[in-house]
């Protein structure tokens, strides 16, 4: 039953109470059952335990707007495809999708309950997909797959986008104290330019397909997106994807719109963000801890 039925109040008051109980968790997607007041409550879909989000404390950094003209995007938005095979899994779990995984620091924060208590994951299970384009991080990410061979899936030298293909990825080689955080698909990124425009060839993974093929409605799906400007291209396409409704919480660090490869402007980006929120995707303010 819904929270409104449990407490015998109307939906408007139910929503207000849900917000108070679950901090900034968006109530519009999930149906909640109240298990304990003043203690841990678990958010649920009709038959599935859900994972409680937690306030994530993050470091911030400042980006400088740049005016350099962007190259065109390497491929076009692919929001949906009949060739994608939906996940056949039936047991729900937490799914942590880390776009811009670096050396696994955000994944380790996930395990340390910084994104919510892991013990509350549906069925007590979790799985992680770590996407990272910078070859600098191949070794530390490989160590995570060795440690968690069935639960951690690393996509190394792979960049998150909204379509598939190959492209150049530009390296930040100067921000040593910040874990080389400025590496980007955009050649206009100031840290990339400071590094002499060094680049490597990478594979592109389509977030929309990843969601479709690796998650199910009963999961608690978290997407951490720190992709140095590519969010301006990915988000409008994600808003058109059927699989976007599978996301429960999107932790997205927003960089200057000048890094968009499609020239996405503020109105389109904000409209996509609002469209996702209306579909039940919770999008709290977020800055990735990369220190």
- 119-146 average pLDDT score: 96
User: 101-129: per-residue pLDDT in tens?
Assistant: 999 999 999 999 999 999 999 999 999 99
pLDDT for residue 174: 77
Of 36-40, 111-115, 136-140, 202-206, the least confident:
36-40
Query: Rounded distance, CA 72 to CA 129, Å?
Result: 27
90-99 per-position pLDDT tens digit? 999 999 999 9
- pTM equals 0.76
Taking residues 82-90, report their average pLDDT: 97
Element (H, E) at 224: strand 220-225
First vs last Cα of the chain: how many Å apart? 43
Residues 263, 72: Cα–Cα separation, whole Å? 9
Mean pLDDT of all residues in 243-250: 98
Q: What is the mean pLDDT of residues 281-287?
A: 93
Q: Percent of the chain at pLDDT above 70?
A: 70
pLDDT-based confidence at residue 234 (cuts at 50, 70, 90)? very high
- Identify the pLDDT of residue 198: 78
Which residue spans within 76-219 are E strands per DSSP? Answer: 94-99, 126-132, 152-156, 158-161, 165-170, 199-206
- Closest CA relative to residue 248, chosen from 141, 128, 137, 95: 95
Segment 172-209, tens digit of pLDDT = 777 656 555 667 777 777 776 686 767 888 999 999 99
With 90 as the cut, is the pLDDT of residue 244 above it?
yes
pLDDT digits (tens, 9 = 90+) for 211-221: 999 999 999 99
């Amino acid at each position: 039953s819904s929270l409104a039925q449990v407490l015998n109040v109307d939906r408007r008051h139910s929503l207000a109470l849900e917000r108070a109980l679950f901090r900034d968790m968006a109530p519009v997607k999930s149906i909640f059952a109240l298990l304990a007041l003043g203690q841990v409550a678990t958010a649920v879909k009709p038959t599935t335990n859900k994972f409680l989000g937690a306030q994530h404390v993050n470091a911030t950094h400042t980006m400088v707007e740049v005016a350099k003209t962007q190259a065109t995007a390497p491929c076009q938005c692919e929001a949906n495809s009949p060739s994608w095979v939906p996940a056949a899994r039936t047991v729900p779990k937490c799914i942590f999708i880390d776009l811009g995984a670096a050396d696994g620091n955000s994944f380790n924060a996930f395990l340390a309950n910084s994104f919510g208590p892991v013990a509350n994951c549906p069925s007590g299970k979790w799985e992680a997909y770590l996407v990272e384009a910078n070859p600098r991080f191949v070794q530390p990410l490989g160590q995570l797959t060795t440690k968690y061979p069935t639960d951690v899936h690393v996509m190394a030298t792979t960049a998150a986008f909204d379509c598939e293909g190959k492209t150049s990825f530009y390296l930040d080689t100067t921000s040593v104290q910040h874990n080389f955080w400025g590496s980007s698909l955009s050649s206009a990124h100031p840290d990339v330019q400071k590094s002499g425009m060094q680049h490597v060839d990478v594979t592109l993974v389509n977030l929309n397909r990843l969601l479709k093929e690796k998650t199910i409605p009963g999961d608690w799906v978290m997407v951490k997106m720190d992709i140095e400007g590519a969010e301006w291209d990915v988000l409008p396409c994600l808003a058109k994807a059927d699989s976007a409704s599978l996301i429960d919480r999107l932790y997205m660090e927003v960089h200057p719109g000048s890094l968009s490869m499609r020239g996405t402007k503020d109105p389109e980006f904000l409209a996509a963000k609002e469209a996702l929120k209306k579909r039940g995707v919770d999008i709290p303010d977020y800055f990735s801890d990369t220190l």
